Structure 1
């Protein structure tokens, strides 16, 4: 990767004989907003702690700007961390919390005061210098934690589920705030979350993890539109995942019905996983789709209706702005380019990864 700032090379880590990371390799670009995304226990927080120096890998190296920092202590790295629990000092003012790291570095008073003013302006907390954390909202406390991290001028800022304790609207506001801060400071953000929407909204690149392995890396658009396996498709948004067979290129049999697709390069009559997003299933009149089915349920979700439709012995999830009535018989159609074909797992280990959660 051009302008790489950090590399993880063949990182493995276990706790109590349980393997958490398995030969993980990752490059992170300068000024990139990269998100580690996956279910609980997938290894994303352990990866973050290894980058920050809070854990040492059993094997592998952490390379920062060409130098091996695997065994360098956290305070000696140009890396700062914002945790979900903000760990602010309750007996200190906002200004003293922000200045804590600078005072440890024995910076002079004028320098510290300038940095505090700059940081408070950046996180939109001017005038809060004398307040104590207990008098602040959750979002304000989170901004103080970010300000405390950025005054140390880190090359990389690590964020471990920092928005998890906030309500929906405040979380969305802080997402925009973090993107603004990242762009203004020009530093690298490494962000950990299990929230798919958060990852899709904020990231330049997403790393989807499961059981200590990287399942896929790419832009949010690539991850959503071109998942590389069934786990990624199912974890990133809702999906209909169905067993299929490829008789030949550009044709897949799903539920014993032929569907035209655009995929090539599969073996003759190869068993495959077929992924179709709910918003890509089109409801037609009965007899005018590829499959006929019956509407089982309809839920209003605000921007669309979520329907469950049984067709071909499979319960399809369908998202549409126009609802069908429960009990109605309808046809289902999918455009060829909206059918994603994936190879079946080649081993039992891959099958376990696919089926996890």
Structure 2
């Protein structure tokens, strides 16, 4: 049975006449780790601020456990927010920062002491309570900001690009910490990022947004394996996206070559977008390939080589554990199951919504 904790009902918001969120509808279940993912300006941070009460929608309602909280101020919502800029008080110790919200609620000294100890242990910051935030690293400051939010026992924790200021190694470490914290405290996380790897790594469900519209909703695997339009395919990981013609069911023409696929339900000779992930292409002898071209570049990426193969006027990206010789002629093959066929959008911001069952 569904256990919805938060509902965004027909939310719209514009700034200076420009639509930022356009009739957004979303249900979030208790204890989910939801990520709002999209490029800058897509409306994800505005959506988060509407949930937190910092921005009021022009239209629509925010429902928390079935109750309308659209007009409630932030301090009256059972929601806490962690921003990219941690906003720690520099004149306070770590303990004092964590205790700030609890003191405002007039909690007892023993209660506050116990909560501080619990929070510091949860974020692996035991022994740092007397330190000033200014002497901490970026990753440590972020942990303190999370601890300060969690001690208030919110039912929803909002995180607005909280790892954006950290270097790659620290980001990866904090991703693991956030997953652990979410599992231990059992609250709903709503996370905003433009980093696809972060979203794929941490989320129970990803909401891909563009131009204020939800493009796709689903698990990390479903969105990566089955993108619903070219925008999602291009934004989530690397993709080869090329024009094609659906000659008939299970047969698509790419670069004047008919290639078997598994898709059906398209009109005969319909113009389509064809999406093929680089890891699904295989380099073979030229005579054995569906497509035939020349290797124009190769880059070693550590776990694989990124190889570009020019076929006519298009450069295919291939990820392979085996290198290739620049200038050599090769063939490309692909399994039918790994070809994604998509309808051409009717407009640039065409809405496509598909939620995992």
* TM-score between the two structures when normalised by the length of structure 1: 0.97
Task: State how far apart, in whole Å, the 2-side matches of 1:112 and 1:165 are.
Answer: 30
**Distance (whole Å) between structure 1 residues aligned to residue 157 and residue 309 of structure 2:** 45
Residue aligning to 1:226: 226
1:297 alignment partner in structure 2: 297
Aligned to 1:337: 337
Q: Residue 118 in 1 paired to residue 115 in 2?
A: no
Q: Within 1, Cα distance between the matches of 2:206 and 2:349?
A: 23
Mapping 1:14-33, distance limit 5 Å: 14-33=14-33
In 2, Cα distance between equivalents of 1:345 and 1:167: 37
CA contact (8 A) 2:284 2:330 kept: yes
Q: Distance in 1 between matches of 2:336 and 2:313?
A: 21
Q: Give the Å deviation of 1:4.
A: 0.6
Q: CA deviation at 1:125?
A: 0.6
Q: Structure 1: any 5+ residue segments left out of the alignment?
A: 352-357
Q: CA deviation at 1:349?
A: 4.5
Give the alignment of 1:313-324 within 5 angstroms.
313-324=313-324
Whether the 8 Å CA contact 2:215–2:232 is kept in 1: the answer is yes
Where do 5+ consecutive residues of structure 2 fail to align? 352-357
| CA separation of 1:71 and 1:171: change in aligned 2, threshold 3 A | same
Partner in structure 1 of residue 155 of structure 2: 155
Q: C-alpha deviations, 1:12-65, integer Å up to 9, x for none?
A: 001111110000001111000000000000000000000000000000000000
SS in 1 for 2:288: coil
TM superposition shift of 1:247: 1.1
Are the counterparts in 1 of residues 211 and 349 from structure 2 also a CA contact under 8 Å? no
Secondary structure of 1:125's match?
A: coil
Give the Cα separation in 1 of the matches to 2:246 and 2:149: 53
Aligned to 1:355: none
In structure 2, C-alpha distance between the alignment counterparts of 1:336 and 1:268, rounded to whole Å: 18
User: How is 1:129-140 mapped onto 2 (pairs within 5 angstroms)?
Assistant: 129-140=129-140
Q: Show the 5 A alignment for 1:90-129.
A: 90-129=90-129
2:142 maps to 1:142: yes
Find the aligned partners of 1:124 and 1:173 in 2 and give their Cα distance.
12
Aligned residue in 2 for 1:82: 82
Partner in structure 1 of residue 210 of structure 2: 210
Length, aligned pairs only: 351
1:237 aligns with 2:244: no
Distance 1:14 1:207 in 2: 20
Residue aligned with 2:127, SS:
coil
**3-state DSSP class of the match of 1:350?**
coil
Aligned residues of 1:255 and 1:313 also touching (Cα < 8 A): no
1:194 correspondence with 2:194: yes
Q: Distance in 2 between matches of 1:16 and 1:225?
A: 38
Q: How many Å separate the matches in 2 of 1:250 and 1:102?
A: 62
Q: 1:348 to 1:214 in 2, by over 3 A?
A: closer
Residue 159 of structure 1 aligns to a residue whose secondary structure is strand
Quote the residue 1:68 is aligned against: 68
Instruction: State the alpha-carbon separation in 1 of the partners of residues 56 and 269 from structure 2.
Output: 47
In angstroms, what is the RMSD of aligned CA positions? 1.0
Give the distance between the partners of 2:339 and 2:323, measured in 1 at CA: 22
